[in-house]
Amino acid sequence: MREVYPNESAANRGAVQAQVNRLMIAGFHMSDIVQQIDHFYADSSNLRVPAVDAYKYAMKKMHGTNQQELENYEAILRKTYNR
């Protein structure tokens, strides 16, 4: 954080760090995240979904979001990008 935002105040760095923490998951390797994203794209209905949204889906799944909520989120993504 200090390297990317050297002139940010400590308060701002804390807010940015909190967002970064939501985008990562402790105890998992990047290869685990890649595997989840690959699994997401294995369904051809998801091919038009941008990678950033597939990443967010993978983070939700790895954080333990319940299956119904994941299915709802996936349906929203498909509806948004498969027009």
Q: Domain coordinates of the chain in residue numbers?
A: 28-81
Output the pLDDT for position 10. 66
**pLDDT (0 to 100) of residue 78:** 98
Query: How many other C-beta atoms lie within 10 A of the C-beta of residue 2?
Result: 8
Provide the pLDDT for residue 26.
79
Q: Stretch 70-83: mean pLDDT, rounded?
A: 97
* Tens digit of each residue's pLDDT (9 = 90 or more) over 25-73: 778 888 999 999 999 999 999 999 999 999 999 999 998 999 999 999 9
* Residue that wins the pLDDT comparison between 4 and 51: 51
Show the tokens assigned to 28: 């998992």
The model carries a pTM of 0.73
Among residues 22, 73, 17, which one has the least CA distance to residue 49?
A: 73
